[in-house]
Structure 1
Amino acid sequence: MASPVSAEVYRGKCAAHTIAVIAIVVGLPLWWKTTETYRASLPYSDIKELDTLSLQLTVPVEIILAKGALSLEQLRKVPSSDLKERASQLNSKTTYKRRYEIKYRRATPQEEEALGGPSLKDCDEALYHLDRGTQGSVTIYVISESSALLPQGVGVYIGSHRTAVMEIEPLPSLKAEAVLAVVDKKVEQIVQAMSFTDDVITAALSDRIPIGRFTKEAYADSRRAFKSSPGYEMTFSLLNPDPKSHDLHWNIRGAVDDYIQPFLDKLAPVAKVSVDSQILYYAVLGVTPRFDKASSSFILKSHSLPHVINPIEARLGSSAASLYPVLNFLLYVPEYSHSPLYIQDHDGSPVVTNAFHSPRWGGIMVYNVNYTEKQERDFPVRVDIDMVKVMEVFLTQLRLLFGIAKVSTPEDFRMESPGNEGLSDWELDRLLWTRTVENIATVTTTLTSLAQLLDQIGNIVINDNVASEVYLAVSAVHLAVSHLESGRLEFAFQASKEAIASSEKAFFDPSLLHLLYFPDDQKFAIYIPLFLPMAVPILLSLLKTAKEYKQRRKEPTKED
C-alpha cells in the first residue's frame, strides 16, 4: 500500500505534467495563432511579370483611295489589308512594339462628294459626319493631284478630327508595289503625327527610361506636363498690387465659358477639371524689375522668373487644400511705378506674349495698362481687361501643361486649327495614348514597390480589402495591355484608370500602417513578463521529473 506522501508526490507530478502538456500543446499554438499578423495572399508572381513591361500599341489605319488616285491596273493589285510592325527596346525591362493594322478600300460616292467640298475645312467636316472613327484610329484619303483640293505646296492635310487627306501624283507607268511604297512612307508620317512616336512613348515612360534615351524635346515635354491624375483644379488669379492706382475689372466667368470650358469638355474622357477664380490685392512680385532707359520700360529677365513664383504662391492658398494637382494661371497688372513691365527671353529679346509658364505649376502673364494723360491725373484708373488676349495665352499654356505639344511634321503638311474647342480629336487620341502608357507604367511601379515592401516587412497586416484592390489592379493592367494590342484605345485608357485607382487604394490603405512599428522582438518583450512566472515552475517540475527518471533507470543496473 502506497504511503500518503508518495501519493501526494504522484498527484503533484501528474498535475505538473498535465499543465505542461496543456501549455505546450494547446496554449503555445493558440497564443502564436492569435498574435500572428493576418496577411492575405497577393499575386506576387503576376506583379513580378508586370515589372518586365512589354507593350504592343496597335493603331487601326484605314486608307481610302479616291477616284483617279491610282490607275485601274494599280487598284487591282492593292491588298485588302496590311500589317506593319516595329519593335523598340527601351531598356532591359521595357519593350515597346508599334503596330499598324492597315486596311485599303475605295471611296464611296458620298465620300467622293465630300472630297469635292469648297474648302478643306468643309471637306473635313463632311467626312467627319460620314465616319466619326473610333478613338485611336486614323483615316487617310488618298486623292489625285488633279483634284486640286490641296493648295500648291501642300501634300498632306490633317483635319481637326481623325481624318487626313493625302495627295499622290498619278503615275500610271509605275507598278502597284512602287506606288504603295510611296503611299506607305507618307502614311507612316501621318499616323505618327496623329497618334504617337517613339519620343512620345519614351516620355510617357520617363520614370522607367534612362535620361540618355530622351531627345531634348521629349525630355522637356516629360518634365513640363502634369502627371496623369483623375482630376485637376484650375485657379485663375488676378493680381492687383496697386489698388490705389488700378480699378481692375475682368469678365472671368464669360471668358472661361467661351475659351476654357470647350477645351475642358473635350478633355472630359481624360480627367475632370474644376475651375475657380480669385482677385488678390497688394500681391507683389518677389523680384524688383530693372528699368531700361532705352525703352523707358521695366524689364524682368528670364533668369529671375523662378524667383517670382514663390512669394506669390504663398498668397494663392489653393494647393494645400486640394486632393488633386492645381493649375495656377496668374494675370499680373504691374503697379503704376513699374509700368510698363516686359519679360525678356534668354537672348535679350522681348517675349511676344509677355508671359511665361512653370512646368507642372501653371503660367503668369503680365498685363500692362496704357495710361492717358487724363488717367494719370485721376486715380484709380478703371481698367477693363481684354480677356480675348489673356485667354489665348492661358489656353496655349494649358495645352502645354497637359502635354499637348506642337507636332513636328514635314514642310508639306498642313494642320487644321482645333477652333473654339482648343483640342482636335486626334490630339485627344494622342494624349490618350500617352496617358494610357503612363498609367500602366505607374501602376506597375506602384504594385512592384508595394510587393517589395510587404515582402521585406513581414509584420504588416494585409487585409482582404488591400488584397482585393491589388488583384483588381493587376487584372486591369492586363486588360489595358490587351486592349492596346487590339487597337481599342478608349477601353485601354479606361482600364488603365481603374488600375491606377485600385493600385493607389492598396498602396495608401491605412491598415498597412497599424503594425508597422510592432516587430516580433517587441511582441516577445510584451508577452514574456506574462508567461515567465507561470513557465518557471512548470519547467522546474519537468526538469525534476526528468532527473528522477534518470535515477530510476540507473538503480536496477547497480543491483545487478
Structure 2
Amino acid sequence: MAIRDIVSNPSLLPVLGLSAETRDQCMSLLAALDPTVDLAADPQDRALAASKEQKQLFALLARLRGLNRDAILRVRETKQSTAEARQEIDRLHLQLQNLYYEQRHLTGEITACETYEHKYRSLPLIPLEEFLALHPEHQESDDHELMIAQINHEHSEREKLEQARQELLKRKQALIAENNKRKEDLASLDQDLERFIDVGVLLLSCGRTANSTRRPNPSRSSSKRSINIRSWAYLHALVMTAKNDDQTSAQTVSDTMTAPTPRLPPPEKPEAVRTRLKVIAAFWAVIIFLGFPIWWKTTSIYRASLPISDMIDWADGKTCRPVFPLEIRFETPSLPDTEAQHLLRTTQHTLDDLNEFSAHHLRLKLSSDDELTSPRAALHSDTTQLDVFYPPSQIPPPSASNSPLSAFIASELQSLFTEEKAIIAQVLSDHNVLGTNTHSPASPNNQAPSAMLNSLSPELIESMTRRLRRSLKYAETYHLAFSLFTPGSSPSSWDIQAAVHDYISPLLDAFSPISNFTVDTQVQLYATFSPTAPSPEYDETHSAWTLKKDDLSAFINAAEWPLSPSIGSGPTINFILYVPAPSQSPLLVKDSLATSWIIPQWGGVLHDLLTPTPYPPRRPLHPNPLPLRLQTLTRLRAASLLLSASSTMGSLARLTESLPSIPIPATVATSVSTTLTHLSSACAHLRHGQFQAALASARVAETEAERSFFEKSMVGQMYFPDEHKVAVYLPLLGPIGVP
C-alpha cells in the first residue's frame, strides 16, 4: 500500500510531495558527487554542479522544515483543543455524576417518605363508614383532618370505657366483700347448728331415762326442763374434757413404756488413738513440707531489681540539671588577634553580667565592615549568622575593661535568646528543676527558673504562654491532613500536590531532624455545618457573612466530616480549606474580620474567599530566622523529653514501692536500664552543646520510659487488691485447717 493511500489529510499531502522532491534532489546531489561517474568532466564544473544541487537541496530542506513546523503546530493545536474538549467533557461528566448523586439521594428520600410506616396507621380504629355515620359533619374533611377526628373519637370512647371499667371494678370489689361476709356468717351458723344438734340429742337421751324412772310433775315441767338443759350441757362439757385428758395421759404412758434404752459405744483402744494421731501428723506434714513450698513457688511474684534510688534522683533533678551552652564563634578578619581576643573577653564579661539564668550560655559568629559611624547588627534571614557592623572608632583599646561595642554585642545576643531562655526556665520550673548548675560559670546574677520568670516583662510572658499553649506535645511522627470542604458540588478538585511540593515539603525537610511527617489530602463535597452550630449572620456594614468568635469551636462537623483525630501512632494536624457557598460568601469572623483560626484538638481552618475582599489574611511575623528557631526547638524538645522521661522514672519508682505485690518483668528492668543510660547520654550531650545528639538520646529515653511504665502485666496487677486474694484462698484454707 502506497503512503499516499495511508495519509489522506490535505495538509500533509504537500509534505509528502516536497519530501519526494527532496529525496530526488538528494539522489541528484549524490550522483554529482560520485567520482566514478563521468571521469572526463572538468572537476571545477563538477564542483559547481554539486554546489548548485546542494543549494537546491538546502532550499527544499528549508521548505520541508517549514512544513514540518506547521504540521507540529497544527498537531499541538489539535492536542490543545482535544485536551480542552476532554476537560469540558470531564467537567460535564462530573456535573452529570453529581446530578445522578442528587437524583438518587432525592429519590431515596422520597421513597423513604412514601414508604414510612407511621404508628397511626396501625391504630385499632372503628371502620370509616361507622365513624362517618356517627359524625356526619366530617363527610367533606380531608384524610388528615379525618384521621385526627378518628383519633380524638377513639380517645374519647376509650376514656368512657375506662370510666365504665373502673365503676364495674368498684362494684365487683363491693360484691366480693359482701360475699365474704355472708360466707363467714354461714360458717358461724353451721357451727352453732352443730352444737345445738349435739345438745338436743343429749337432752333427748336424758329425758327418756328420766321418764322411765319417774314421771315429772306437770306443774313443774317447764322449770325442770330448763334446768335439765343447762345441767346436761354442763355435764356434756365435763365429759368431753375428761375424755380428752384420759386420752392424753394414756398416750403419754404408752410412749414411755415403748421408748428403747440408748446403747453406749464400746471404749476406744489405745492403738486406734495412736493411729488417728499419726494420720493427722502425716496430713499436716504433707501440707507443711510439700504443699506449702509448691504453693509458694507457683504463686510467688517475680520482681526484677530496679535502681529505685537512681530513678528517684533523676525525677528530683539531683542527677542531671540541664544546661544549654550555646557556642557562638567570633569572626573578625579585619582585627588583629590581640584586639579580637580582647573584644571577645570584654563581650563575654558583659554577657556574664547580663545573664540572669545560668543554665543558658551564649557565643556568636561575627563579620565586619568599614565606613561606619556607629555599630549596627543584621541577622541573616536564612542562616544563624549575625553580622555586627561598627566603625573603627568603636574598637576597644587593650587597656579598657569594657566598651560600648561589647555592650552593644551583648545586648543584641541577649535580645535574640530572651524568649528561648524564658521558655526553658518555664519548662524547668514546671518540673521543679533548679536553675543553678555546678557546671555553669559562677556569677552573682544566677537565678532559679522561678526567679527568672518573675523578672520577665508581661508582654514576653504573654507571648511565651501563647506559644506554649498552642504548641503540640512532642511526637516522633506527625500526620498532616489537608482537607478541602465545600457545601456544594464545586470545587471538586484542587492543585494541592504542587502546593505541598513547593511550600510544605521544604518546611518538613527542615523539621526532619526533629520529627517525621506524613501528608494526606482529601476533598469532601456537600460538607454542611454541624446541626448544633449557629448559622452565619449577614453584616450589612461590611457586606459579608460573619461567624461569632464564640461559635468557632463548633464549626467542625465531627459527625459527617471525615477528620480522623489519629492516623497511626502519632497525632494528626488538620489543615482545612473551607469554600463557602456563593450565597454565603464572603464568610468572615465577626469583629476581627479574619478568614482563618485554630480549633483546639483539630487544627487550622481557612476560608477561601471566592470574591475579592479588602481583608487579606494576616501572616504571622517572627524576628528570628527559621534555622535559629529550629535550633531553639531542638533544645526545647530535648529538655522537655529529658524531664518527661525523668518524671516517668520517678513515678515508676514510687509505684513499685507503694505496691509490693505488683510484678516487675525483666522487660521493665531492661527498659529502665536503657532509659537511664540514654538519660545520662542526653544530659552529657546537653552539657557539651551537642543538642541534636541530646534530642536523639532523649527521644529513646522517653519511648523506653513510657514502655516500662505502661507494661501490660504491671497495669493489670495494679487493680487486683489484697481483698480478692483473701476471697480466693479462704475457702481453700478453711477445710485444710480442719481435716
TM normalised by structure 1 equals 0.69
5+ unaligned residues in a row in structure 2: which ranges? 1-267, 433-448
Per the alignment, in what secondary structure is the counterpart of residue 339 of structure 2?
helix
Per the alignment, in what secondary structure is the counterpart of residue 365 of structure 2?
strand
Separation (CA, whole Å) in 1 of partners of 2:313 and 2:415: 29
Match of 2:304 in 1: 40
Separation (CA, whole Å) in 1 of partners of 2:732 and 2:406: 84
Match of 2:646 in 1: 444
What is the identity, as a one-letter code, of the residue corresponding to 2:547?
Answer: L
Distance 1:195 1:63, change over 3 A: farther
**C-alpha displacement at 1:439, in angstroms?**
0.7
Contact 1:234 1:276 in 2 (8 A): yes
Match of 1:427 in 2: 629
**C-alpha displacement at 1:204, in angstroms?**
4.0
**C-alpha displacement at 1:330, in angstroms?**
0.5
Contact 2:484 2:523 in 1 (8 A): yes
Match of 1:280 in 2: 524
Q: Does 1:350 align with 2:569?
A: no
Match of 2:359 in 1: 97
**C-alpha displacement at 1:191, in angstroms?**
6.7
Among 356, 359, 366, the residue aligned to 1:141: 366
Per the alignment, in what secondary structure is the counterpart of residue 368 of structure 1?
coil
Separation (CA, whole Å) in 1 of partners of 2:353 and 2:402: 22
Match of 1:501 in 2: 703
Per the alignment, in what secondary structure is the counterpart of residue 303 of structure 1?
helix
Q: Does 1:362 align with 2:603?
A: yes
Among 220, 226, 242, the residue aligned to 2:466: 220
Contact 1:140 1:163 in 2 (8 A): yes
Per the alignment, in what secondary structure is the counterpart of residue 515 of structure 1?
helix
Q: Does 1:58 align with 2:283?
A: no
What is the identity, as a one-letter code, of the residue corresponding to 2:406?
Answer: V
Separation (CA, whole Å) in 1 of partners of 2:486 and 2:352: 56
Separation (CA, whole Å) in 1 of partners of 2:700 and 2:277: 65
Match of 2:483 in 1: 237
Separation (CA, whole Å) in 1 of partners of 2:395 and 2:365: 24
Q: Does 1:334 align with 2:601?
A: no
Separation (CA, whole Å) in 1 of partners of 2:695 and 2:341: 39
What is the identity, as a one-letter code, of the residue corresponding to 2:544?
Answer: S
Separation (CA, whole Å) in 2 of partners of 1:257 and 1:464: 47
Separation (CA, whole Å) in 1 of partners of 2:355 and 2:306: 32
Q: Deviations over 1:101-158 (max 9, x none)?
A: x5xxxxxxxxxxxxxxxxxxxxxxxxxxxxxxxxxxxx5114144379xxx9952323
Q: Does 1:406 align with 2:610?
A: no
Contact 1:203 1:222 in 2 (8 A): no
Q: Which has the higher helix share?
A: 2
Contact 1:74 1:175 in 2 (8 A): yes
Match of 1:512 in 2: 714
Separation (CA, whole Å) in 2 of partners of 1:496 and 1:185: 36
Match of 1:421 in 2: none
Distance 1:425 1:321, change over 3 A: closer
Distance 1:494 1:85, change over 3 A: farther
**C-alpha displacement at 1:12, in angstroms?**
3.7
Separation (CA, whole Å) in 2 of partners of 1:33 and 1:521: 21
Contact 2:486 2:580 in 1 (8 A): yes
Separation (CA, whole Å) in 2 of partners of 1:366 and 1:86: 50
Distance 1:532 1:483, change over 3 A: same
Match of 2:500 in 1: 256
Per the alignment, in what secondary structure is the counterpart of residue 146 of structure 1?
coil
Distance 1:55 1:274, change over 3 A: same
Separation (CA, whole Å) in 1 of partners of 2:354 and 2:287: 65
Q: Deviations over 1:477-519 (max 9, x none)?
A: 1211111011111110000000111011112222223333333
Name the stretch that deviates more: 210-219 or 230-239: 210-219
Q: Which one has a bigger Cα radius of gyration?
A: 2
TM normalised by structure 2 equals 0.54
The one of the two structures with greater contact order (alpha-carbon pairs below 8 A, sep at least 6) is 1
Separation (CA, whole Å) in 1 of partners of 2:632 and 2:367: 22
Match of 1:169 in 2: 391
Distance 1:88 1:512, change over 3 A: farther
Q: Which has the higher strand share?
A: 1
Name the stretch that deviates more: 24-33 or 495-504: 24-33
Separation (CA, whole Å) in 1 of partners of 2:508 and 2:566: 23
Separation (CA, whole Å) in 2 of partners of 1:7 and 1:182: 113
Distance 1:216 1:314, change over 3 A: farther
Contact 1:194 1:427 in 2 (8 A): no
Per the alignment, in what secondary structure is the counterpart of residue 555 of structure 2?
helix
Separation (CA, whole Å) in 2 of partners of 1:312 and 1:331: 15
Separation (CA, whole Å) in 2 of partners of 1:482 and 1:185: 32
What is the identity, as a one-letter code, of the residue corresponding to 2:539?
Answer: D
**C-alpha displacement at 1:293, in angstroms?**
1.4
**C-alpha displacement at 1:216, in angstroms?**
1.3
Q: Does 1:198 align with 2:421?
A: yes
Match of 2:551 in 1: 304
What is the identity, as a one-letter code, of the residue corresponding to 1:63?
Answer: F
Per the alignment, in what secondary structure is the counterpart of residue 140 of structure 1?
coil
Among 271, 287, 291, the residue aligned to 1:27: 291
Match of 1:475 in 2: 677
Separation (CA, whole Å) in 1 of partners of 2:382 and 2:410: 17
Per the alignment, in what secondary structure is the counterpart of residue 65 of structure 1?
coil
5+ unaligned residues in a row in structure 1: which ranges? 90-94, 103-138, 372-388, 398-404, 408-414, 417-423, 538-560
Contact 1:200 1:218 in 2 (8 A): yes
Per the alignment, in what secondary structure is the counterpart of residue 450 of structure 1?
helix
Per the alignment, in what secondary structure is the counterpart of residue 235 of structure 1?
strand
Contact 1:224 1:360 in 2 (8 A): no
Q: Deviations over 1:172-203 (max 9, x none)?
A: 77434446673365246337626963222145
Identical counterparts, % of pairs: 24
Contact 1:71 1:172 in 2 (8 A): no
Per the alignment, in what secondary structure is the counterpart of residue 63 of structure 1?
coil
Distance 1:6 1:227, change over 3 A: same
Equivalences, count: 438
Separation (CA, whole Å) in 2 of partners of 1:27 and 1:88: 71
Match of 2:658 in 1: 456
Per the alignment, in what secondary structure is the counterpart of residue 282 of structure 1?
coil
Distance 1:490 1:434, change over 3 A: same
Separation (CA, whole Å) in 2 of partners of 1:454 and 1:160: 50
Distance 1:33 1:261, change over 3 A: same
